Amino acid sequence: MALNYFCFAPPPLSSFPSCHADYHYHSPKLQLLRHLKSPTPFSLFATPPPPPHTSTSHSSTTPIDEDPQPKEDDSEESTKYPLLDFFNSDQESEFDSQNGFKDEEEQSGHKNPNSNPEAEGVLGEILHIARNMKENVTLGELLGPYEGRIGEKECVVLLGLMAREGLMMGCLYFFKWMGVQEPSLITPRACSVLFPVLGRGGMGDALVVLVRNLPDAKEFRDVHVYNAAISGLSGCGRYDDAWKIYDSMETNNVQPDDVTCSIMITIMRKSGRSAKDAWEFFQRMNRKGVEWSLEAVSALIKSFCDEGLKKEALIIQIEMEKKGIASNAVVYNTLMNAYIESNQVEEAEGLFAEMKRKGIKPTSSTYDILMDSYSRRMQPEIIEKLLLEMESIGLVPSAHSYTYLISAYGRQRKMGDMAVNAFSRMKKLGIKPTSHSYTALIHAYSVNGWHEKAFVAFENMQVEGIKPSVETYTALLDAFRRAGDAEMLMKIWKLMINDKIEGTRVTFNTLLDGFAKQGRYIEARDVICEFGKIGLQPTVMTYNILMNAYARGGQPSKLPQLLKEMSALSLKPDSITYSTMIFAFARVRDFNRAFYYHKEMVKSGNVPDPRSYEKLRAILDVKAALKNKKDKKAILGILNSTKGMLESREKIKKDEFWKNKKKQSRFYTSIGNGRR
């Protein structure tokens, strides 16, 4: 359980902490991890551990938890049907499962009012020019009158102001203008401001060119300049180029710091490197003299949590605190989210209680993580309590907070009114709904059978200028699938195509089931063809849906043909496939085929769960009772033979009088009764 496995040239076993259950926490599973004692202090240094310190990271370098890497598209589709998983997909919340968390100031919603001062004088004039710059004109062409009127410090301030307003091209052209001045106005501080900005704007090519053309002066071989360049390249997904910058940093003998360590560990995580690799890199940085810091350890904990190594992450956190570095809300949010993703809500609750006991103020992301877990468990009453607790400590619930509440109510039948009420409360508080909020509301209408209200919500969403997502369309399709309205299904599908939104596997199955159950088999086949064009080929579930539709429509003769199609596509039938066929043929009293496919099901080993199998056997027994005794014996013989319960008996040769045996017995019986 300790970190020996992750060590490069591991230290002695005694250097790792041993676990003792001396303390009691809210979660019994955390008792072995929350308080660790070790006879020998845990250390990654050849020298004794450093004294408590605070991070000395450069203020202009993007912190690791704010690294603006775009979210990676997870294309793995859920096989649950119809719509129970999309609420758990990544949402535009304060917590980013790919990048980490925002800092505490951003999460709490409080910003320094002096962080964006109003530009005046020359700076204000240049900023005004940058805002109103025409096409085909560069900023440098318009700054001739300002040569010699601003200095290096003013240039750094102006770069920051333009970056806050999103004037990326203005920043780039102004930086080039700075470089052609005599003397040059480019400073290491200006580079530290500009490089992360270019990365956030996706201008990786320009960033690489600027880094290559930096002056050879010693002042530009500064760790903060390298950190800014690496952070910028990480922000636009140029991980290989970021590693090249780090290699050049080592070549030029530039000493890395804790920010370098945290950025590189994050790059390793995002590029698919393992937690073991991150741990080895962390050790190497420690041997170079880089001290433990909150930023570096937070990045390391995130790497372990993403791989599900929660116990190891807890050990690292505890060792960090032993070195005098206190955990913050970001660290606890990362750990809590890891436990929530593993469906270990009790452990997350224990961390939440510990966090408050230490006096660490929870953030909006902290509550959103907990609300997400209770939304999955359909426990809206707990979410209501968390909303009240947020307001009591001065945190304002966001649209995501209310989305979790709407979803928790909406997934339950007969609670659609409560979901609508939660949506109304959100709008009364002035919180603008997101596409996820409307998706949750539409799904609530769908579950409760209010398909017309679902379409009205969809139209209101468009009126408000909120673009529907693929999940929104899928929820709306599901509402009309449940209502059995094939015409509206076709209409919504066409709207979806016009908006150039590609469906997912869940969308595919929803449309297919909706058309097939209404007997629109041609449209159902069209759905299979259209989704095949975008790479969503038919699966076993696809054919199970078709078989179920044909069976309900009284066309069991189509089922063997579908089974042949599955075989042609190398799809193996499962227990649902066989059960559907058996029920279909038993319903029309075709017992020969019913028991034939029962035999095939047993041979293939795809027997359903015991409860479903008992139900299947009971239905077959009831159907068999309607036949004569001879047929029932044959049916039971087939069942027993498939289970190996039937003993083979030798056939006895019949004599010439066997046909008259019963008649003779009845004849002699009647004579005997007459004599009496």
Q: What was the pLDDT predicted at 638?
A: 61
Q: What was the pLDDT predicted at 98?
A: 35
Q: Are strands 100-101 and 18-19 parallel, antiparallel or unpaired?
A: unpaired
Q: Which of 137, 138, 226 is nearest to 177 (CA)?
A: 138
Q: What was the pLDDT predicted at 580?
A: 87
pLDDT exceeding 90 applies to what percent of the chain? 38
Predicted TM-score (pTM) of the model is: 0.69
Tell me the residue type at 496: M
In the predicted model, is pLDDT for residue 60 greater than 70?
no
Q: What was the pLDDT predicted at 110?
A: 39
Q: What was the pLDDT predicted at 473?
A: 94
Say if CB 352 and CB 327 are below 8 A apart: no
CA distance 231 to 211: 12
Cβ contacts of 144 within 8 Å, gap of 6 or more: none
DSSP calls for 465-529: TPPP-HHHHHHHHHHHHHHT-HHHHHHHHHHHHHTT----HHHHHHHHHHHHHTT-HHHHHHHHH
CA distance 214 to 9: 38
Cβ contacts of 199 within 8 Å, gap of 6 or more: 62, 68, 207, 231, 232, 233, 234, 235, 236
Under the banding of pLDDT at 50, 70 and 90, the label for residue 3 is very low
Residue 482's alpha-carbon distances to 436, 478, 488, 510, 517, in angstroms, are 21, 6, 12, 10, 10
In the predicted model, is pLDDT for residue 58 greater than 80?
no
Say if CB 580 and CB 544 are below 8 A apart: yes
Say if CB 310 and CB 27 are below 8 A apart: no
Is the peptide bond prior to 183 cis by the omega test (within 30 degrees of 0)? yes
Q: What is the average pLDDT across 3-31?
A: 37
pLDDT exceeding 70 applies to what percent of the chain? 72
CA distance 607 to 605: 6
Cα radius of gyration rounded to whole Å, the chain: 34
Q: What was the pLDDT predicted at 578?
A: 87
What is the residue whose two structure tokens read 């930096």?
214
Say if CB 330 and CB 298 are below 8 A apart: yes
Q: What is the pLDDT of residues 480-519, one digit of tens each?
A: 999 999 999 999 999 998 988 888 899 999 998 999 888 8
Q: Which among 74-78, 388-392, 636-640 has the top mean pLDDT?
A: 388-392
Q: What is the average pLDDT across 543-551?
A: 89
Q: What was the pLDDT predicted at 106?
A: 41
CA distance 260 to 302: 16
Query: In 10 A of CB 400, how many CB atoms?
Result: 22
In the predicted model, is pLDDT for residue 583 greater than 90?
no
Say if CB 343 and CB 117 are below 8 A apart: no
The helix/strand/coil state of 26 is coil
In the predicted model, is pLDDT for residue 647 greater than 60?
no
CA distance 194 to 209: 13
Q: What is the average pLDDT across 74-80?
A: 38
Query: In 10 A of CB 133, how many CB atoms?
Result: 17
Q: What was the pLDDT predicted at 460?
A: 93
Q: What was the pLDDT predicted at 673?
A: 52
Q: What was the pLDDT predicted at 298?
A: 94
Q: Token pair for residue 278?
A: 């991150």
Secondary structure element (H or E) that encloses residue 240, with its range: helix 239-251
Q: What is the pLDDT of residues 264-299, one digit of tens each?
A: 999 999 999 999 999 999 999 999 999 999 999 999
Tell me the residue type at 656: E
CA distance 2 to 20: 13
Tell me the residue type at 45: F
Q: What is the mean pLDDT of the chain?
A: 77
Q: Which among 12-26, 87-101, 619-633 has the top mean pLDDT?
A: 619-633
Say if CB 256 and CB 248 are below 8 A apart: no
The helix/strand/coil state of 386 is helix
Q: Can you name the residues that pair with 100 across neighbouring β-strands?
A: 96
In the predicted model, is pLDDT for residue 479 greater than 90?
yes
DSSP calls for 329-384: HHHHHHHHHHHHHTT-HHHHHHHHHHHHHTTPPP-HHHHHHHHHHHHHTT-HHHHH
Strands (E), 61-144: 95-96, 100-101
Query: In this structure, which long-range contacts are made by residues 612-618, counting pairs with CB atoms below 8 Å and at least 24 apart in sequence?
Result: 612/575, 612/579, 616/579, 616/582, 616/583
Q: What is the pLDDT of residues 393-420, one digit of tens each?
A: 999 999 999 999 999 999 998 898 999 9
In the predicted model, is pLDDT for residue 392 greater than 50?
yes
Q: Which of 174, 195, 301, 201 is nearest to 242 (CA)?
A: 195
Segment among 26-35, 349-358, 467-476 with least mean pLDDT = 26-35
| More confident position, 629 or 384 | 384
In the predicted model, is pLDDT for residue 117 greater than 70?
no
CA distance 100 to 95: 6
Segment among 21-30, 121-130, 520-529 with least mean pLDDT = 21-30
Segment among 203-207, 290-294, 336-340, 629-633 with least mean pLDDT = 629-633
Q: What is the average pLDDT across 352-358?
A: 93
Q: What is the 3-state secondary structure (H, E, C) of 523-559?
A: HHHHHHHHHHHCCCCCCHHHHHHHHHHHHHCCCHHHH
Q: Token pair for residue 202?
A: 């996706």
Q: What was the pLDDT predicted at 604?
A: 83
The helix/strand/coil state of 202 is coil
Under the banding of pLDDT at 50, 70 and 90, the label for residue 39 is very low
Residue 513's alpha-carbon distances to 47, 480, 545, in angstroms, are 67, 11, 6
